[in-house]
Amino acid sequence: MAKHLFFDLDRTLWDFERNSETALRQLYEELGLHEIHGSFELFHNTYKETNAELWKQYGNGEISKEILRTERFKATFEKLNIDKSELVERISQGYIELSPRQTHLFPKTLETLNELKRDGYQMHIITNGFKEVQFIKLEQARLKPYFDLILCSEEVGHNKPSRFIFEHALKQTGAHVSESVMIGDDYEVDIVGARNCGMHGILFDPENSKGHLENEFRIQHVTELPEKLTWVLRSRL
């Protein structure tokens, strides 16, 4: 029976924080915000906090993606007293176009995916990100050829950690739950979500910030994955 790996994309394979900052720095300069506000670091930190809160609301079904995309910059400008409302739409649209074209991956990602492919694993993506930008990321970063199924939550109508999206992925791929593993950076969204449908999970924790989760399968580097998978799948025997 084939073994199936389901990966999260952002912050697991594609280095979201680094790519996002690169895009925002460029837009900050191009739109002249460095002359209006000065500190990119303060702008960036305020944006990250605002964006994280809005993504939480989106994940809970409280706001639409259109509101998320505009409100994250509008709210950031308001918090920093940047009186340039005409720039909100420009930075919002610019970020949507520029960010997914960044190509920073976590170290040795492609090498590890090649190794897993040689080992016979079938690999897939399950992401809460928006379809139109996730596919650009996968193409630009040369990730797309490695994955058979690329499933975005908006196609299913349920975000991770809902069990429905995991069950849908299993059905689409013909994967048996006992031969499937979810790999992601968000414990509640990826690992608990997968567990709720009977799938094992491996937490990607590069900063070792979740050391209190002592009984969980965890990796800090993508290169640890092939060996860790041996232990995870053996535990199902």
CA distance 210 to 24: 28
Q: Which of 8, 10, 15, 185 is catalytic?
A: 8
In DSSP terms, 127 is beta-bridged to 152
**For residue 72, which of 10, 58, 60, 185 has the smallest C-alpha distance?**
58
Residue with tokens 């952002």: 10
Is position 8 annotated as part of the catalytic site?
A: yes
Q: Which residues are catalytic?
A: 8
